[in-house]
Structure 1
Amino acid sequence: MEEPLSLQKCAERLERRGFRSFVVSGLKEAADLMRGLVRELSPASASYGDSMTLKATGILDELNASPDIQFYDGFVPGMDREEKWEIRRRGMTADLFLTGINAVSMKGTLHWVDMVGNRVAPVAFGPRNVILLAGANKLVATPEEARERIRRIAPLNARRHEDFKTPCMYTGTCADCNSPDRLCNIHMSIVKCFPKGRIAVILMEESGGL
């Protein structure tokens, strides 16, 4: 019999794998928790990876407005691509990095897909601390289902970029394509947090993002 999905049980398993883990009800509670973590960690610098759920909390605007934090924002509309990439490179050595997760398994594993790597590389190494936010819609039973979820959402993510042209934008199905605009170039999984406690995972009872 398949185990029912449970954010609380998933959080317990994440803790056993060395992550700090929290379960909150919604965006407001997630934002309050992140503010508390920022106060606790006292970062001198911060950056982030693109995440609709993270943006919806308002925490990024607060970090950007803080006079005590150097905020590296490589997603400013209209900014030249090379300038964006340079800022994202600086963000890889910030004290604090925040982003979302594409899928979380009940085994306590985290899974992503990325185009360039600027979102996943700082999670794996670089910033002293990482805060991740995921809605309940990201929770799946197994790592195998996490990878399948990523294949299903790839077309939806592609459609967020109006100037991109990938097969999945038109068919709605991942074709493992060779398009110049392919978004799913880099796949990353984290099965244990090292050093222990470096990564904080916030699981939200509401759905969030794709």
Structure 2
Amino acid sequence: MPTRAETLESCRDALTANGFEAFLAPSPQQAAELFFQEILPKLRPQTVSWGDSLTLETTGVLQRLEGRAGIELIKSFEQGVPWREIIERRRRALLSDLFLTGSNAVTGCGQLVNLDMIGNRTAAIAFGPKKVVIFAGRNKLVPDLEGAMARIRHHAAPANAGRHRFATPCATTGHCHDCTSPQRICNNWSVMAKSYPQGRIKVVLIDAELGL
């Protein structure tokens, strides 16, 4: 049976074979150092935005980007901003130089699998921003696509619905009901089988249990 490190390395190799640029980091703090020392200097973005991700928040990357010279942050989750303005910012984020987020699941064969309510995150991962950087903890690793969808529907989605205090059945029961709630968050699936162009999407795999 492979060790945890071997599993992460195998996943990194599978992502690389699929055109992603993949990295390993032993902790959220070292993932942030890798981002600022190796990834960001090569990209030199002028505009940066991000999608909802507890894993990304844990790294502290967003706080360190705040006020950084030469970078405009498109804040699409800012408190106190009218909803229409938030939506416009999320549309602007699709044309950013760099988009940061997490992934609901990463398969052993090197696929990124995500599920969104609105689709701003899944859309940005697939197309729009010039570059995308994904941060994912080891708990997001699953064997295959079937396992990814099961993980998302019966763990990540109910937990996220509960985190946002949405009135969905899964927020109460902890498992998917394939509901018709107005606040349903399971609307937009994204399966990134390959990164095109090659290297556009960069994935930082972190050897820690992070996010949902």
TM-score > 0.5, shorter chain as reference: yes
Asked if the contact 1:3/1:141 (under 8 Å) is kept, the reply is no
The reply to whether residue 11 of structure 1 matches residue 12 of structure 2 is yes
Report SS of the residue matched to 1:65.
coil
Residue in 1 aligned with 2:73? 71
**C-alpha RMSD of matched pairs (Å):** 1.3
Deviation at 1:67, TM superposition (A): 2.4
Deviation at 1:51, TM superposition (A): 0.5
Residue in 2 aligned with 1:157? 160
Deviation at 1:64, TM superposition (A): 2.6
Asked if the contact 2:29/2:60 (under 8 Å) is kept, the reply is no
Output one character per residue of 1:2-59: Cα deviation in whole Å (capped at 9) or x when no partner: 8776010110011011000011101111000111211111001110001011012111
**Aligned-partner residue type, residue 186 of structure 1:** N
CA distance in 2, matches of 1:176, 1:3: 35
Output one character per residue of 1:69-126: Cα deviation in whole Å (capped at 9) or x when no partner: 1110110112211111111111110000000000001011110010001111111011
Residue in 2 aligned with 1:123? 125
The reply to whether residue 23 of structure 1 matches residue 24 of structure 2 is yes
**Aligned-partner residue type, residue 137 of structure 2:** G
Instruction: Give the TM-score normalised by the residue count of structure 1.
Output: 0.96
The reply to whether residue 61 of structure 1 matches residue 52 of structure 2 is no
Q: Which runs of 5 or more structure 2 residues have no equivalent in the other structure?
A: none
Report SS of the residue matched to 2:163.
coil
Alpha-carbon distance change, 168 to 149 in structure 1, aligned in 2, over 3 angstroms: same
Percentage of matched positions with identical amino acids: 44
Deviation at 1:191, TM superposition (A): 0.5
Residue in 2 aligned with 1:133? 135
Greater shift in the superposed pair: 194-203 or 57-66: 57-66
CA distance in 2, matches of 1:173, 1:131: 29
Asked if the contact 2:24/2:205 (under 8 Å) is kept, the reply is yes
Residue in 1 aligned with 2:206? 204
1:104 to 103, 106, 110: 106
Runs ≥4 in structure 1, deviation > 2 angstroms? 2-5
CA distance in 1, matches of 2:3, 2:185: 31
Aligned residue pairs: how many? 208
Instruction: Give the TM-score normalised by the residue count of structure 2.
Output: 0.95
CA distance in 1, matches of 2:81, 2:27: 32
The reply to whether residue 86 of structure 1 matches residue 88 of structure 2 is yes
**Aligned-partner residue type, residue 35 of structure 1:** F
Report SS of the residue matched to 1:168.
helix
Alpha-carbon distance change, 50 to 188 in structure 1, aligned in 2, over 3 angstroms: same
